[in-house]
Amino acid sequence: MRTLLDLLRRRRSLDGLSDEIRAHLDEKVDALIASGMSRSDARRAARRAFGHVAQIEEAGRDVWRMPAFDDALADIAFAFRFLRRSPTFAAVAVLSLAIGIGANAAVFTVIDALLLRHLPVLDPSALVVLSKHDVDAGEPSTLAFHEYDELRSRTSSFAGMLAYSGGGGSLQPGATPVPGAGEPIHAGRVSSNFFDVLGVRMAVGRAFMPVNDVKADPERSVVLSYSYWQRRFGGDPSIVGKPVIVFRGMPFTVVGVATRGFTGIEPDQDTDAWWPIANVKRMAPERLAGWTVTVLARLKHGVDVSRARAEAKLVYARIAADEAAAHADWTDVRRRRFLAEQFTVGSGATGIADATRARFTQPLYVLMASVLGVLLIASANVGALLLARTTARRRELAVRLALGSGRPRIIRQLVTENVLLAAIATTAGLALVPFALRILLSYAPADVAGGLHTAPDVRTVMFIVGIAFASAVIIGVLPAFRSTMALEGELTAGGHAVGAPQHRARVYRVLIATQIALCMSLLVVAGLFVRTLHNLRGLDAGFDRKSLVVVTVNDGAVTVPVARQTLPALEAIPGVRSGTFYANLGLLGGGTSTSDCIVDGTSPRPSDDVSCVRMQVGPHFFETTSTRIVAGRPFAPGDEPPGASVAIVNETMARQYFGAESPLGKRISGAEVVGVARDTKYTSLRDPAQRMIYTPVGRGWVVADVRFALHTDRNVAGIGSVIRQAIADAGVTKKTTAIESIAEISDATLARERLLAEVATSFGLLALLLAGIGLYGTMSFAVARRNNEIALRLALGANRAMIIRQLMRESGTTVVLGAGAGLIGTFMLSRLLSRLLFGLEPSDPATIGAAVLLLAAAAAAAAYLPARRASGADPIAALRSE
Amino acid sequence: MPTSEPRDLFPGALEMMILRLLQREPLHGYALVQRIQQASNDLLHVEEGSLYPALQRLLKARLVSAEWGVSSTNRRVRIYQLTRAGTKHLATEVSRFEQMLSGVSLVLALGGGDA
């Protein structure tokens, strides 16, 4: 600050100096002329009396000299000139570093937003999540509200405990519901103490009154998020006190707006409005107890997590035991699985995003490692090139050292060049971050991409400064020390070292080998992910994955008559071959539901697992989804309950339940098996098919969302408006919330795999390109330095092929060592990788072989070109130039 | 630093004279030279140019401030003015100078023993 101020004053003071001196001389000349001197004599006399103008100006400037600062300025100016003189080098260096830094910043931003950022609430580190995990699945399963209520009342380690259930909802202003007028929102159904436990204040109005949610009559109140309030209501404070419809057509009152910046406890979702979960009692009083909720609690002051965990585990064990005892109807398997669930208490500081985190945490870390690898390659690359250039400049530097420039001064200048390079690259890299972020987030579901808060915070800024600093060190500081040390050696040795000093050659080798190793790993990893994606895409899922369009109609309750009334209109659209509807079909929307299936007349042993996935499907289902019926018949009109009770099972179920026997005619839970369908992967593309039982939707069927699947080759863009029109024409007032092609749905399912395959491939190829440039560049310099030796050997009768072979063998050793190290590195990561792969092992020979070939080809090309150029030199000319 | 005969008496003398003159009235460079020569009855012959580095030193030390104005001969010149710090600095410098001068005078008054 002081320096800056002095700079300004210096500028102001010195700026007028020349004018001032000129005015002085003019005045003096005038005076002398007035005293009778001739103009030319007067001018001479005035100059004599004044002294040497240039020297005096210089003396004036000397007054203000700030040595450290001025030297740095000179260094920077020199560095700029140096970069301008070699634009190709500067462009390659800046661009490769910028891509590296930009990609790192973007990936870290997403990691920070999804995994690291604390909730914007009071003392977030005192928050813990209470959850239980299925032993097999590993993914958390939610607690039931009654379990929350008991945990809350029977534990003493917590200052407060809240229940939360987030998901889609709708909101429409006013007190009378208008069908189809609700806007989709992300809603939070919360215990009434939600805002109190979090310590979140209201920007306007009040929070919910904390009451006993189980006993008290719940208030019909809504709290809006600040951003939704701004977006939807223009920040109008008079919205408080007004009615809105958020639940079952009942008017609720807006009582408050949460403080700015608080968008809920899910980092991957922006919640728009919250209302007390106890309102679900209005559907039926018993609905609340079984409602699944996420439980967050605040530790009492002075209570540590382990104590709280011990207490909560003990309490939960008792709750679970009571629950299991109360359910006499459970099978043993179900009972055992229920009791085996692991209850955990973990940190809640970063909020809840289980599904997104389960899906993307590992891929993000793999990506982080990849982009760090790319940055390291880029830095090593630029470092090697700079080192090579410094070597080429060693005469200049040696002369400057000899002329008395201190070694620190020269190091400082070399470091300035490199730091400048890093600074330019960091700036360019930061400019790339928004684009990189957009690419990354395009792989996430739209609501997640919009919900993540990617504005930079302290942590991302620290990270970016850190990597920029690290790359500056790699590209600059080490080479600078290395080269001046070598120079001093050269000077004392008489200034005429012919070969590269041994240790410097070693630095090159290490830099190149490191690049090759990282490049090898990145290529193998990219190849593994590409093949994984390919395997999953090409997998026979048992249903049509090409020509389906899925239409979701939502808002309130859709019933069978509504669906039946709509279906013919959709099937009548030209190009639609057939259509069906359903509510839940796993990957095709709505998730799955599992229950126990018991063959009538048998009593399974208590230890038998009789769970199966239940799918309720509309007419023409098997035909529309191209799911083959391998035995028996598909559903026909008249099969619907309650008039009839029939079912179709899949092959896995038929095999496991009936073995070689035909399942046709058998009854399962009262329904007669009329057909066997091919195994389909509606639940997960990765896992083997589960047991499945299909039943036709019955007359009493009511669902929140109904999905129509249409078999058509027309694309969504072409057919979308026709579909909406057809639905409207059919007299359906419900809202069409989504029209998606099976390709979009499938791509969304494979988002993680696409992310890994596409991003890892980009970085693998970038790494290959960078390593190639690095190898080519350093090889070129190395060869140029050995011109004399090569010329001598050519003159002595060696032929070009021999020279090329020898030069390539030297770099070949480095490449082989690097590639070997890279492969070992990949093997060490294989455990982390194997969970992300499908249909192949991390040691997949085809992938590794392809990567090795690709790398070998690139390395050979990068080394061959300079070697060939050198071997083509005219020996006489080369020797003469010495 | 460019100097020629006759040089400054001692380092800081020129600055002290500048400050004293500026204490009476704000002046520009040429006028300062005139005043020094008039006031010293032309005994001191200051190389005119050396005034300017001295003024820069004073500016840097914030003992004087400068503003652009117009001279009596209608030229655009920088007019210097004493700052508060300059006034204080002048007072201490003058008293130190006087002490030194009296000390030197006492020594010189011992008289010569040249026989």
pLDDT of B50-109, one tens digit each?
Answer: 889 899 999 988 999 988 888 888 888 899 999 999 999 999 988 988 898 899 888 888
Assign residue A121 a region (left: φ > 0; alpha: ψ between -120 and 50; beta: otherwise).
beta
- Bond preceding residue A642 cis, omega within 30 of 0: yes
Question: Angle, to 10 degrees, between the axis of helix B29-39 and the axis of helix B13-24?
Answer: 100
Residue A221 has pLDDT above 90, yes or no: yes
Q: What is the pLDDT of residue A256?
A: 95
Residue A219 DSSP class: P
Least confident of A160-174, A588-602, A615-629: A588-602
Mean pLDDT value across chain A = 85
Chain B contact for A7, CB < 8 A?
no
pLDDT confidence bin for A846, thresholds 50/70/90: very high
Residues A372-407 have pLDDT tens digits of: 999 988 888 888 777 777 666 667 777 777 776 677
Q: How far apart are CA A605 and CA A602, in angstroms?
A: 9
Interchain CB distance below 8 Å, B68 and A24: no
Of A9, A14, A51, the CB nearest to B49: A51
Which letter, b or e, does each residue of A736-763 get, where b requires 16 or more Cβ atoms within 10 Å of its Cβ? bebbbbbeebbeebbbbbbbbbbbbbbb
Q: Where are the beta strands (DSSP E) in A322-382?
A: 342-347
Q: Which residues are A194's β-sheet partners?
A: none
Of A20, A56, A57, the CB nearest to B77: A20
- Reduce the DSSP state of residue A119 to 3 states and report it: coil
Reported as half-sphere exposure (CB side, CA atoms, 13 A), residue A677 has a value of 28
Interchain CB distance below 8 Å, B52 and A62: no
Q: How far apart are CA A752 and CA A440, in angstroms?
A: 11
- Reduce the DSSP state of residue A496 to 3 states and report it: coil
Helix, strand, coil distribution of chain A in percent, nearest 5 = 55, 15, 30
Distance from CA of B35 to the nearest CA of A (A): 14
**Could you give the C-alpha distances from A35 to A69, A818, B28, in angstroms and in order?**
48, 87, 21
Q: How far apart are CA A588 and CA A745, in angstroms?
A: 7
Q: What is the pLDDT of residue A829?
A: 81
pLDDT confidence bin for A495, thresholds 50/70/90: very low
Interchain CB distance below 8 Å, A23 and B76: yes
In chain A, % of residues over pLDDT 90: 32
Of B29, B48, B56, the CB nearest to A64: B56
Q: How far separated are the first and last CA of chain A, in Å rounded?
A: 52
Chain B hits for A30, CB-CB cut-off 8 Å, are 73
Interchain CB distance below 8 Å, B49 and A52: yes
Q: What is the pLDDT of residue A880?
A: 67
**At CB < 8 A and 24+ separation, what contacts does A738-742 make?**
A738/A550, A738/A551, A738/A552, A739/A549, A739/A550, A739/A551, A739/A552, A740/A549, A740/A550, A740/A552, A740/A716, A741/A548, A741/A549, A741/A550, A741/A715, A741/A716, A742/A544, A742/A545, A742/A546, A742/A547, A742/A548, A742/A549, A742/A550, A742/A588
Chain B contact for A47, CB < 8 A?
no
Candidates A698, A703, A451; CA nearest to A589 is: A703
Chain B contact for A26, CB < 8 A?
yes
pTM for the structure as a whole: 0.75
Q: What is the pLDDT of residue A820?
A: 93
Q: What is the pLDDT of residue A478?
A: 63
Q: How many CB pairs under 8 A join A and B?
A: 80
Overall average pLDDT of the A305-321 stretch? 93
Residues A651-692 have pLDDT tens digits of: 999 998 888 889 999 898 888 999 999 999 887 888 888 899
Cβ atoms of residues A298 and A134 within 8 Å? no
Chain B contact for A49, CB < 8 A?
yes
Distance from CA of A23 to the nearest CA of B (A): 7
Interchain CB distance below 8 Å, A13 and B53: no
Query: Between these two residues, A828 and A145, which has the higher pLDDT value?
Result: A145
Residue A582 has pLDDT above 60, yes or no: yes
Chain B contact for A3, CB < 8 A?
no
Q: What is the pLDDT of residue A699?
A: 77
Rg (CA), chain A: 37
Candidates A434, A155, A145; CA nearest to A317 is: A155
Interchain CB distance below 8 Å, B75 and A23: yes
Of A19, A56, A64, the CB nearest to B49: A56
pLDDT confidence bin for A146, thresholds 50/70/90: very high
Q: What's the token pair of residue A52?
A: 């040497």
Residue A359 has pLDDT above 90, yes or no: no
Chain B contact for A52, CB < 8 A?
yes
Cα dihedral A71, A72, A77, A79 sign: positive
Interchain CB distance below 8 Å, B49 and A14: no
Distance from CA of A72 to the nearest CA of B (A): 21
Overall average pLDDT of the A584-602 stretch? 79
Distance from CA of A58 to the nearest CA of B (A): 9
Q: What is the pLDDT of residue A152?
A: 95
Q: How far apart are CA A572 and CA A575, in angstroms?
A: 9
Q: What's the token pair of residue A789?
A: 């030796």
Q: What is the pLDDT of residue A407?
A: 72
Residue A498 has pLDDT above 50, yes or no: no
Q: What is the pLDDT of residue A487?
A: 56
Place of tokens 């000390």: B103
A258 exposed, middle or buried (CB, 10 Å; 0-12, 13-18, 19+)? buried
Chain A hits for B33, CB-CB cut-off 8 Å, are 24
Distance from CA of A70 to the nearest CA of B (A): 17
Chain A hits for B44, CB-CB cut-off 8 Å, are none
**Could you give the C-alpha distances from A676 to A600, A627, A655, in angstroms and in order?**
18, 10, 10
Residues A730-784 have pLDDT tens digits of: 777 777 778 888 888 888 888 889 989 998 899 899 899 888 888 887 777 777 7
Q: What's the token pair of residue B76?
A: 């655009």
Please name the amino acid found at residue A502: Q
Interchain CB distance below 8 Å, B2 and A55: yes
Q: What is the pLDDT of residue A493?
A: 44
Residues A610-660 have pLDDT tens digits of: 888 888 899 899 999 999 999 999 998 888 888 888 999 999 999 988 888
Cβ atoms of residues A174 and A549 within 8 Å? no
Candidates B30, B48, B52, B6; CA nearest to A50 is: B48
> What's the ipTM?
0.85
Distance from CA of A881 to the nearest CA of B (A): 47
pLDDT confidence bin for A180, thresholds 50/70/90: low
Interchain CB distance below 8 Å, B47 and A49: yes
Q: How far apart are CA A200 and CA A198, in angstroms?
A: 5
pLDDT confidence bin for A277, thresholds 50/70/90: very high
Interchain CB distance below 8 Å, B73 and A30: yes
Q: How far apart are CA A537 and CA A753, in angstroms?
A: 10
pLDDT confidence bin for A271, thresholds 50/70/90: very high
Distance from CA of A13 to the nearest CA of B (A): 7
Q: What is the pLDDT of residue A342?
A: 84
CA A260 to the chain's CA centroid: 26
Chain B contact for A48, CB < 8 A?
no
Distance from CA of B6 to the nearest CA of A (A): 11
Interchain CB distance below 8 Å, B2 and A52: yes
**At CB < 8 A and 24+ separation, what contacts does B57-60 make?**
B57/A63, B57/B15, B58/B15, B58/B18, B58/B19, B58/B86, B59/A9, B59/A13, B60/A9, B60/A10, B60/A13, B60/A63, B60/A64
Candidates A717, A528, A705, A697; CA nearest to A618 is: A697
Q: What is the pLDDT of residue A727?
A: 84
Q: What is the pLDDT of residue A202?
A: 96
pLDDT confidence bin for A494, thresholds 50/70/90: very low
Q: How many CB atoms lie within 10 A of CB A558?
A: 22
Chain B contact for A23, CB < 8 A?
yes
Interchain CB distance below 8 Å, A17 and B52: yes
What's the farthest any 2 CA atoms get from each other in chain A?
139
The residue of chain B with its CA nearest to that of A10 is: B60
Cβ atoms of residues A630 and A662 within 8 Å? no
Within the 60-99 window of chain A, which residues sit less than 8 Å (CB to CB) from chain B?
60, 62-64
Q: How far apart are CA A807 and CA A801, in angstroms?
A: 10
